[in-house]
Structure 1
Amino acid sequence: MSDHDDKNPENDPQLADKIKDSARQIWLAGLGAYTKAEEDAGKFFERLVQEGEQLETRTRGVVEKQIKTVEGRVGEVKEKATGTWDKLEHMFDQRVSGALRRLGIHRREEIEAMERRIEALESELARLRGDSPASDEEE
């Protein structure tokens, strides 16, 4: 029985030590791998942040340039539209004034000027007749 017990791996102290050493080495290798992965992940994260900042800087410059270009174009279009609208409004005024003149309808300024002339003539006529403003109201 003792021959059989000596060959049993469970009773071999060297084999048990080898297994313990292998288990410890596996454990240490796992810890090392975990630590390395953690360090690499931190470095990788930092590198991603740096690349993101660089991309943001480049993108911001391009976007700002595009915004300025668009703002400039909007200003140009606005100026052209305003100028075109002013020309259109002026042409419309001229056409309406011409049509009213052809129909014998005078502009307000012309009518107001005629009213002032009529009032002046009436005043002069009344003065020449010797009429007083009060006698005009009685008639």
Structure 2
Amino acid sequence: MSNEKTSQLKEVSDMAKNIWLAGLGAYGRAFDEAQERYEQASKESPRLFNELVEKGRKLETQARTAIDDVTAKSKGTATSIEERINKVRANLGLGGVSVEDFERLEKKVDALTKKLNAMSAAPKKAPAKRAASSKTTAAE
């Protein structure tokens, strides 16, 4: 081989080796940076965790307060509805009537309705004999 070819081969070999070394260097640098970030995260994890716990406590307190407010308002609304119903009952003269009284009346109305339906469904008998007997007494 000539010196020129040997020189070109050495340059190509050196370039390939440099590319290989650059890749290894990039890997080493990335590894070192990842190691540093991991160590920082390990140091910051407890602080970050504690911050998240504190934020959670604040949100829980706010949520409980909101739920308590809604619950109190709904109880007040239910009471005012009850009061309105009682006023309407009093205006209609139903002030002393309880739910049980209404249920008993409903059962009685249902029973009477069944009896009326049964009576209207019963076959009607022809009163022909009575009409004939009354004619004969009138003719005599």
TM-score range, shorter chain: 0.3 to 0.5
Larger-Rg structure = 1
Instruction: Give the TM-score normalised by the residue count of structure 1.
Output: 0.47
